């Protein structure tokens, strides 16, 4: 790990926190990810090798603790008191990003929004039977399709057909879906002009938007200046 060579707490903290992927690993652990696979699933693009290195580094400095699984191979990870305190930095950074940064086209990965939504579903509102939902996302990269399985309060995202009957079909523009989860669009706005379309039993169509507890930063409203071009007057 490279060092700034300064005693300043900002410099020393940044040496750890500003490492690529570290804030997302801390975020995923805070959201309840415990296993290597769960942490990896919430960070598309992060390699297994780099995640191993980051977890080892965070354990060495006391931010993360691990213990062998009770059954099977591998370990379970959790944030220590130090890690919980460091998440406050993630939270402040997220609030700043929600207020001052525009959601650009390269930020519109619908899988990340779906993963985030599944980690914050209102379990008390989920159906008491198995439900399989197919998502078809448009307007981002090539056409993307995922399946969400809900059973006994547990959720799983599948990237291939799970071999089960589908109960609800959702076709969504990626931008509308991401901004709805992020709190920048209401459900009425997101479904306007068929940006998000649902097909299935009426009770599921009505219930689906009620499951989403939205992003933890949905309460942060973007500054009015975000997204507006800055025009410089020639001198």
Nearest to 208 by CA among 110, 107, 125: 125
Q: Where are the domains of the chain?
A: 9-100, 105-211
Low-confidence ranges of the chain (pLDDT < 70): 1, 229-235
pLDDT of residue 118: 87
pLDDT of residue 180: 94
Give the integer Cα–Cα distance in Å for 107 and 22.
Answer: 18
Cα 80–Cα 33–Cα 30 angle in degrees, nearest 5: 45
Give the integer Cα–Cα distance in Å for 148 and 121.
Answer: 12
pLDDT of residue 121: 83
Exposure class string for 174-212: b at 16+ Cβ within 10 A, else e: bbbbbbbbbbbbeeeebbeeebbebebeeeeeeebeebb
CATH match for 9-100 among 1.20.1440.230, 3.40.50.700, 3.20.20.70, 1.10.10.10:
1.10.10.10
pLDDT of residue 23: 97
CA distances from 45 to 5, 111, 198, 225 (A): 30, 12, 30, 31
β-partners of residue 170 are 135, 198
Q: What is the pTM of this model?
A: 0.87
Give the integer Cα–Cα distance in Å for 183 and 117.
Answer: 12
pLDDT of residue 123: 79
Give the integer Cα–Cα distance in Å for 115 and 46.
Answer: 15
Q: What is the CATH superfamily name and number for domain 105-211?
A: SCP2 sterol-binding domain (3.30.1050.10)
Cα 108–Cα 50–Cα 121 angle in degrees, nearest 5: 45
Fold identical between 9-100 and 105-211? no
pLDDT of residue 1: 61
């Amino acid at each position: 790990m490279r060092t700034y060579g300064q005693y300043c707490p900002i410099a020393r903290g940044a040496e750890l926190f500003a490492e690529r992927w570290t804030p997302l690993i801390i975020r995923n652990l805070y959201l309840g990810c415990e296993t290597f696979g769960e942490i990896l699933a919430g960070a598309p693009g992060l390699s297994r090798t780099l995640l191993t290195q980051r977890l080892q580094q965070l354990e060495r400095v006391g931010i993360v603790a691990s213990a062998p699984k009770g059954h099977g191979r591998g370990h379970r990870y959790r944030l220590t008191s130090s890690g919980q305190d460091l998440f406050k930095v993630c939270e402040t950074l997220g609030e700043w990003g929600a207020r001052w940064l525009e959601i650009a086209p390269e930020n519109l990965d619908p899988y990340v929004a779906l993963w985030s939504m599944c980690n914050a579903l209102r379990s008390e509102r989920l159906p008491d039977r198995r439900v399989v939902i197919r998502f078809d996302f448009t307007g981002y990269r090539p056409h993307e399709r995922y399946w969400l399985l809900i059973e006994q309060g547990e959720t799983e995202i599948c990237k291939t057909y799970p071999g089960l009957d589908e109960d609800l079909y959702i076709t969504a523009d990626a931008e509308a879906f991401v901004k709805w989860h992020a709190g920048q669009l209401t459900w009425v706005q997101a479904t306007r002009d068929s940006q998000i379309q649902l097909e299935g039993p009426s009770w599921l169509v009505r219930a689906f938007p009620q499951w989403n507890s939205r992003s933890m930063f949905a309460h942060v409203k973007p500054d009015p200046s975000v997204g507006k071009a800055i025009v410089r007057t020639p001198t």
